[in-house]
Amino acid sequence: MYKCALILAAGQGKRIKSDLPKVLHKVCGKEMVKHVIDSIRKSGIDDINVIIGKGAELVKERTADKNVSYSLQAEQLGTGHAVKCAEEFLRGKKGVVAVFTGDTPLIKQSTIERLFNDHIESKNSATILTAIVDDPTGYGRIVRENNEVSKIVEHKDCSEEELKISEMNSGIYCFDIELLLDALSKLTNNNEQGEYYLTDVIEILKAQNKKIGAVITDFEETIGVNSRVQLAQAEEILKDRINIMHMENGVTLIDPKTTYIGIDVEIGKDTIIYPNNILEGNTKIGSNCLLYQNSRISDSIIGDEVDIQSSVILNSNIGDNTTVGPFAYIRPETTIGKHARIGDFVEIKKSNIGDGTKVSHLTYIGDAEVGSECNFGCGTVIVNYDGKNKYKTIIGDHSFIGCNTNLVS
Ligand code: UD1
Ligand code: CA
């Protein structure tokens, strides 16, 4: 059966109080809407349409990928109206469309698969992903009659009785494409917020005697991030998930609470990570490394058996058995060889440092090619800038540089 997905991402997100569109706020280093896209992808669906509106160009730029197309919702008149804006994408297609909101970054691949399978096997017209929660404040409630889902009521439109319902709408659904398109044309905005609600499609289908199903999952996975407080909650949940995954893969985290690992970071076995480390972007850490306290490593590749302490490493490569820090600053486009030593108060920028070279203290190296087995004395400065232009420096193998040396490029 043909499957595709829509992601609603046109709102500004008033409640997050930001100039940035809400779905571009990051959780564990990645935009919320990208988390959603990646989970959909992993579940085997690659025809994805994102509905954009507020900050459309920026959302498009940050989510651009093959098989991702866009529909524009110029005015945000509600989630139902948003789906309607994807009519052109859906028209003529037969099969199942899953609808996601761009603000549910914790949704798992396995749950998306379960939702699709249940929808198809039960021959439903619509299947809602729901969760049971003690405090469903702000979420739509799932109203059931004789245990069958009959409608979804938004928090603001709930009666006293409906407010007590603990089953919430995750905002994620599967629909039969043709039935959805037909129901969308029947939506009205006769509600507390004056919006066209996607959730009303359920009641419309029910009135046509169509089969509605629900798949219940953990509330944690369905958290919709509307505010900065919820953003922090999502961060904490995903951070725990990532940390547990690495520990299960054989990485020691001395204090998982203070270890911040981005979702795409890879770490080899038997590496030990001390508190207050931040690993970001497409970073790869080898095996048997020791990451002592307080480093930030971003978009970098670290070999095996590397020791790093209290340092910042950005977009660089560090070879096997090298030590870095404490207090080193490795700036972008730097490559450091194997068995090298980069010590305290050393800054290296856009340079290659050969195997076995020692830069032990108080040194600046910028725009340089440095050979192997060199030794830099304390207080060496490569003078790469004359106030107008930057110049390159080349230092051969086995060079010995005495302390307090300025090497004018
Ligand atoms: C929605 C659901 C609610 C559910 C909750 C789950 C409706 C009416 N309500 O409420 O039942 O419990 O999600 O998180 O659907 N968006 C657009 N265009 C619009 C309006 C919204 O693209 O005109 C996008 C937003 O960018 C956002 C998503 O849709 O990514 C959800 O919108 P939001 O306003 O956060 O809906 P909720 O009030 O949370
Ligand atoms: Ca929301």
CA diameter of the chain: 86
Which residues keep their CB under 5 angstroms from ion ligand 2?
Answer: 103, 224, 226
The pLDDT of residue 12: 84
Q: Which ligand is in closest contact with the Cα of 53? A: 1
Top mutation candidate among 101, 201, 227 for ligand 1, by most atoms within 8 Å of CB? 101
The pLDDT of residue 312: 99
pLDDT in tens, 260-317: 999 999 999 999 999 999 999 999 999 999 999 999 999 999 999 999 999 999 999 9
The pLDDT of residue 334: 99
The torsion region of residue 398 among left (phi > 0), alpha (psi -120 to 50) and beta comes to left
Q: Which ligand is in closest contact with the Cα of 49? A: 1
Tell how far the Cα of 366 is from the centroid of ligand 1, in angstroms.
49
> For residue 161, what are the contacts with CB-CB under 8 A and spacing of at least 6?
none
The pLDDT of residue 272: 99
Asked if residue 76 has its Cβ within 6 Å of ligand 1, the reply is: yes
Give how far Cα 264 sits from Cα of 242, 297, 311, 408, Å.
9, 13, 21, 40
> Which stretches of the chain score pLDDT less than 70?
none
Contact yes or no for 338/303 (Cβ under 8 A): yes
Full 3-state SS string of the chain = CCEEEEEEECCCCHHHCCCCCHHHCEECCEEHHHHHHHHHHHCCCCCEEEEEECEHHHHHHHHCCCCEEEEECCCCCCHHHHHHCCHHHHCCCCCEEEEEECCCCCCCHHHHHHHHHHHHHCCCCEEEEEEECCCCCCCCEEEEECCEEEEEECHHHCCHHHHCCCEEEEEEEEEEHHHHHHHHCCCCCCCCCCCCCCCHHHHHHHHCCCCEEEEEECHHHHCCCCCHHHHHHHHHHHHHHHHHHHHHCCCEECCHHHEEECCCCEECCCCEECCCEEEECCCEECCCCEECCCCEEECCEECCCCEECCCEEECCEECCCCEECCCEEECCCCEECCCCEEEEEEEEECCEECCCCEEEEEEEEECEEECCCCEECCCCEEECECCCCECCEEECCCCEECCCCEEEC
The pLDDT of residue 262: 97
Given the residues 119, 246, 361, 398, the one annotated as active site:
361
Which atom of ligand 1 lies nearest, measured to the CA of 103?
A: 30
The pLDDT of residue 54: 95
The pLDDT of residue 117: 98
Asked if residue 109 has its Cβ within 6 Å of ligand 1, the reply is: no
Write down the residue that tokens 């509905």 correspond to. 51
The pLDDT of residue 41: 96
The pLDDT of residue 46: 85
Taking the complete model, does pTM exceed 0.75, yes or no?
yes
